[in-house]
Amino acid sequence: MTTNEQQRPIGDRHNPVMLRRCLDLLAPALAEPGATVVDCTLGLGGHSEALLSTFPSARLIGLDRDTEALRLAGERLAPYANRATLVHAVYDELPEVLDRLGTPRVQGVLFDLGVSSMQLDEADRGFAYAQDAPLDMRMDQTRGISAADVLNTYAPGDLVRLLRAYGEEKQAKRIVEAVVRERAKEPFDRSARLVEVIRDALPQAAKRTGGNPAKRTFQALRIEVNGELSVLERAVPAAVDALAVGGRIAVLSYHSLEDRLVKQVLAAGAASTAPAGLPVVPEQYQPRLKLLTRGAELPTEEEIAENRRAAPARLRGAKRVREAT
């Protein structure tokens, strides 16, 4: 992080996406005394600060795998320390965290997926393709493999599959062929070199559309390094299971892979599981969830103008209407 970044107030460095809409979706479940809300992706604490200030009787549990984010969010949320518990954990560890805290059911869950503002702004984390940095991309720098490890050690076929599946990159084969040639000369360790290799590998037509030509490759590497989709696949059903009846979940996604997975989990919970043809659907087959959004809601043009990182956001919400049987 640059000196200027460090000196800026935390609130100025983080503009929470679709904040008012998230609060509105969760509000009916958090107005009751003793309500507990889990911010599964604490980051710099912008959403959590708003939750704690808007719902003065609510208790917050905040999770993050990034130790620096936990430290900074702790500073921001210090005025609410008696109602906030911050935990170093990945969000698929939610059941274990709740069990450890003796909180089997909660009234609200919020996910703000993807990479945080802090991680993008800290040059030495390697998330941003627009600035040269070590190729790290680990959200939790205390464990796991880095993006450089992936680029330098994965077999070419595995890299192609990775870029296609997680980056939806149509030019995956060209990019991987260039990466394999270059890593044979010298292992990758900096983001600028990777961006240059990608740019040189792509045909002119591919470089004229879709923004920075390295965007999809960086997304794919980040998802692989942090196991984001497999974690999310476990985390959203676990969060639904943790909701008390009447509890609500809100999920902000930033690319189609995340949004598709969230949509599938919430839609399945909102569907009847009864065999076809039953004249009356018994209670045990009734939906567990009621969808609160029609499809995925998008940020307003005004918000995007104020905060360009809101542009790809997709928000989905649901309410728990029945206990599992």
Strand-by-strand arrangement of the 314-320 sheet: 84-88, 59-64, 36-39, 106-112, 243-253, 314-320, 289-291
Q: Please answer whether residues 146 and 137 qualify as being in contact, where contact means their C-beta atoms are separated by less than 8 angstroms.
A: yes
Q: Please answer whether residues 107 and 36 qualify as being in contact, where contact means their C-beta atoms are separated by less than 8 angstroms.
A: yes
- Rounded to 10 deg, the angle between the 228-242 and 256-269 helix axes is 30
Q: Is residue 126 part of an annotated ligand binding site? A: no
Q: Please answer whether residues 284 and 325 qualify as being in contact, where contact means their C-beta atoms are separated by less than 8 angstroms.
A: yes
Shortest CA distance to 117 belongs to which of 225, 8, 196?
8
Distance of alpha carbon 71 from alpha carbon 62, whole angstroms: 12
Residue whose entry in the numeric block shows the structure tokens 């076929």: 157
Among the residues of the chain, which ranges form H helices?
A: 3-7, 10-13, 19-30, 46-54, 67-76, 94-100, 117-121, 147-153, 156-167, 172-185, 191-201, 204-207, 215-226, 228-242, 256-269, 301-306
Q: Is residue 14 part of an annotated ligand binding site? A: no
CA angle 113, 130, 64 (to 5 degrees): 25
Q: Is residue 136 part of an annotated ligand binding site? A: no
Neighbouring-strand partners of residue 190? 134
Q: What 3-state DSSP class applies to 299?
A: coil
Q: Is residue 129 part of an annotated ligand binding site? A: no
Sort strands 314-320 and 243-253 into parallel, antiparallel or unpaired: antiparallel
Q: Is residue 141 part of an annotated ligand binding site? A: no
Q: Is residue 167 part of an annotated ligand binding site? A: no
Distance of alpha carbon 55 from alpha carbon 78, whole angstroms: 16
Q: Is residue 264 part of an annotated ligand binding site? A: no
Binding residues: 45-47, 64, 91, 112, 119
Binding residues for S-adenosyl-L-methionine: 45-47, 64, 91, 112, 119
